[in-house]
Chain A
Amino acid sequence: MEDSEIIRLYCNRDEQAVEETEKKYGSYCFSIAKNILGNEEDARECLNDMLTQAWLSIPTHIPDNLKFWLGKVIRNISINLRKKQNRKKRHDGMDVILSELEECIPSGNTVESYLESEELSRILNMWIKTLSDKDQVIFVMRYWKGVSVKEIARHQGITAKKVSQRLYELRNKLREKLEMEDIYI
């Protein structure tokens, strides 16, 4: 079913909208949640929450792109759930992603001025757009979708070692960019 048709169902308050959303984007969203949370039960819970949120949000908010909007919603829900679970039950995969991102944080600065998340997103967006297509895919798959290095390698037809190496270089580039912009996170 076309996205516009699904949105029309939401607007008509037809519950089939939820079914169609799950049918079309359920596995896509589920994989994002599972990458972040590391277990299927929690991911399923997030998927249900996302469907509820979609039901409550549309038509007040009509997404430009339903797929990516849902992706962002479930990503946020998953991150929040993970925060709620609060360090006790941390998922290894997510820990690894965060420790990787640690390398992007400019060093030698005390955290005096905090950058607003929106501004940080704006800079990230600008920076990602300067990357080659392939680098964009690798970076977004890893740090937006939380996909494992091995899976990215399979996807891209290159070795896992090459992906790790490329990610390492990209993190360095991002750190340089943030340092250059004099940004403290």
Chain B
Amino acid sequence: MSKDSEKLFDAMGNIDDEILKKTENRAGKNKMWFGGTSLFACICLVAVALIITSRNNSNKTGNGSEIIEAGSSNEETNTPDTIVNETDKETEDETEKIKTVRYYFVSGYGEVDTNKRYDAPQNGEILLSDGLKNAIDDIGDKAFYSVYFELYKDGIKVELNDEIIENEMKRVGGRYQDGEVQSGLFTDTKEGIKYYSLAFFGSREQLTNYPSNSDLGIIMYLSTELMIRDGREIVDNNIFELDFETREKAVVCGYRDKRVE
């Protein structure tokens, strides 16, 4: 190892704040929706919100910012289709109009029955929790979903570990269509317990067509549904309710603005 590489590493220390800010924002976005700790934090507060938020019809978010409706569904494409934002972006020689669609990630829906236990799925079978089923039935393609998996082998629940998660991620290639499969290792700071999670973020169509695993059974839960049921730690982060004009108000752990042509 030469001093040259150290010098290069040192020189990286004087990187512009502008670059750091930009990368931090982008990294933060990914972290929020697809990462571990923040997602966990996000999800945990959803639990609080589920408990403490009153069900009013106000068009305001839990943290006071204005809600932008997710929009009507598009039966053909199965994606939310409301253009929520149009911005001008300066390119080298022209001004380009950027259109984006806002995709909300529903992570909680309705009351959670903490005593509810589902029958173990057989290998190759995929079950959806009540919360997830209700959300999909009611909200459909107006949003995306933040989902946690429980895995079963020969009818017995499997404790997640690096190997199991990696195999599952490899099996679906880390991604499935435009959906994202993610894993995380979380620490409950109160209890000091570490645990893994296997999460999926995707549309109704992606969820309902998620490829089954002939070696494992899967139960899919809305992420907060599982967190609340398992009594996991609640920590602070920004989550909010969103009214999709359904029988229950959905809790949303974030959104992603996706560019559309």
Which residues of A approach B to under 8 Å, CB–CB?
A: 64-65, 67-69, 71-72, 75-76, 79, 95, 97-102, 104-105, 111, 117-118, 120-121, 124-125, 128-129, 133-134, 136-137, 140-141, 143-144, 154-159, 185
Contacts and interface: CB of A to CB of B under 8 A. Distances in A.
Nearest to A136: B23
Contact of A143 (B1, B7, B9, B24): B9
B145 to A, nearest CB: 16
A158 B175 CA distance: 8
Contacts of A154: 35-36, 182-184
B19 interface: yes
Given A105-B5, A117-B7, A125 B15 contact: yes
A129 B34 CA distance: 25
- The secondary structure that dominates the B interface is helix
A31 B10 CA distance: 17
A62 B182 CA distance: 40
28 contacts: A72-B13, A72-B14, A76-B13, A98-B1, A98-B5, A99-B1, A99-B5, A100-B5, A102-B5, A104-B8, A117-B10, A120-B8, A121-B12, A121-B14, A124-B8, A125-B16, A129-B19, A133-B22, A136-B23, A141-B27, A154-B182, A155-B27, A155-B30, A155-B34, A155-B35, A156-B34, A159-B174, A185-B8
B31 interface: yes
B51 to A, nearest CB: 26
A13 to B, nearest CB: 26
B11 interface: yes
Given A101-B8, A101-B9, A157-B180, A65 B15 contact: no
Given A64-B17, A125-B19, A157-B30, A120 B11 contact: yes
A137 B183 CA distance: 20
Nearest to B185: A154
A143 B35 CA distance: 20
B6 interface: yes
A105 B23 contact: no
B2 interface: yes
Contacts of A68: 17, 20-21
Nearest to A104: B8
Interface residues of B, number: 36
A185 B4 contact: yes
A99 B7 CA distance: 12
Contacts of B183: 154
A128 B20 contact: no
B26 interface: yes
A183 to B, nearest CB: 11
A65 B21 contact: yes
Contacts of A101: 5, 8-9
| Leading 8 A-B pairs by shortest Cβ distance | A121-B14, A101-B5, A120-B11, A140-B23, A185-B4, A98-B5, A102-B5, A157-B34
Interface in B9-57: 9-17, 19-24, 26-27, 30-31, 34-36
Interface string B151-182: 00000000000000000010000110000101
B226 to A, nearest CB: 20
Given A154-B183, A159-B174, A117 B14 contact: yes
B12 A143 contact: yes
Nearest to A27: B37
A102 B175 contact: no
A67 B20 CA distance: 10
Given A136-B22, A155-B27, A121 B11 contact: yes
A140 B27 CA distance: 10
Contacts of B21: 65, 68
A132 B149 CA distance: 33
